[in-house]
């Protein structure tokens, strides 16, 4: 079975992402990579918790002064919805519906950009309103590093989706690019899961204490 072979709906395999050995390797390798990423974010979370509200003097802003739930709630909804739309995209990928897959990916990307825009607005707000910057305190460094690492992952994920969609726009799905789309969406889900923890640990726990 050659990877660039053309398929009809009838011959398209049930799990195209794992139909070739290369696909199988990518699928497993990427899950393992996400295991490493989990440890990476765990280290960042631990650092954040150790340095939360650790500031040089009494005037510096603390977590409870900074965070506002409405903004982060909207951001959370955007990102969670984008995870759902990427599931729809993968559903169509598995059914060899290339156009629908691209359409859902476009929605996913739009939501991702919406999230990123809100995050940039939020950071800007903290810097100018509260003078809460990357260099102002250990708390600031830890906050921007943890949330910024996540934001960087979102940006990378968006670039990844876009380059995959542009590259494959004219030739449709085959067993060579199906695993590529699939692992990009795995990555997107992972980013979403990390955000759930950031929302809980940074924002919700930041609000209460």
The least distance separating another protein from the CB of residue 44, rounded to whole angstroms, comes to 6
Of the pair 8, 135, the CB lying nearest another protein is at: 135
The smaller minimum CB distance to another protein, of residues 51 and 75, is found at 51
- Least CB distance to another protein at residue 76 (A): 24
DSSP string, 125-181: HHHHHH---TTT-HHHHHHHHHHHHHHHHHHHHHHHHHHHHHHHTTT---TTTHHHH
Q: What is the distance between the alpha carbons of residues 136 and 122, in angstroms, rounded to a whole number?
A: 17
Which residues contact residue 182 at a Cβ distance below 8 angstroms, ignoring those fewer than 6 apart? 16, 17, 23, 27, 90, 93
Q: Which residues bind another protein (CB under 8 A)?
A: 2-4, 21, 24-25, 28-29, 32-33, 35-37, 39-40, 43-44, 46-47, 50-51, 54-56, 134-142, 145, 160, 163-164, 167, 176, 180
Beta carbon of residue 184, minimum distance to another protein (angstroms, whole number): 10
Q: How far is the CB of 188 from another protein (least distance, A)?
A: 16
CA distance 184 to 178: 10
Rg for the chain, CA atoms, rounded: 20
**Residue (56 or 117) nearer to another protein, CB:** 56
74 or 193: CB nearest another protein: 193
């Amino acid at each position: 079975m050659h990877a660039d072979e053309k398929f009809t709906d009838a011959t398209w395999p049930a799990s195209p992402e794992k139909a070739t050995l290369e696909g199988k390797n990518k699928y497993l390798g990427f899950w393992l990579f996400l295991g490493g990423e989990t440890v990476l974010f765990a280290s960042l979370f631990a650092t954040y918790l150790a340095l939360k509200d650790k500031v040089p003097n009494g005037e510096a802003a603390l977590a409870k002064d900074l965070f506002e739930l409405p903004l982060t709630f909207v951001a959370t909804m955007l990102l969670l919805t984008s995870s759902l739309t990427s599931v729809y995209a993968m559903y169509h990928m598995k059914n060899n519906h290339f156009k629908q897959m691209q359409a859902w990916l476009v929605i996913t990307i739009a939501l991702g950009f919406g999230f990123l825009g809100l995050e940039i607005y939020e950071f800007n707000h903290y810097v100018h309103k509260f003078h809460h910057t990357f260099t102002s305190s250990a708390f600031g460094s830890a906050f921007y590093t943890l949330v910024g690492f996540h934001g960087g992952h979102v940006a990378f994920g968006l670039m990844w989706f876009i380059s995959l969609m542009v590259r494959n726009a004219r030739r449709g799905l085959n067993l060579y690019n199906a695993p590529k789309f699939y692992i990009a969406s795995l990555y997107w889900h992972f980013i979403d899961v990390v955000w759930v923890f950031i929302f809980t640990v940074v924002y919700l726990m930041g609000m209460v204490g």
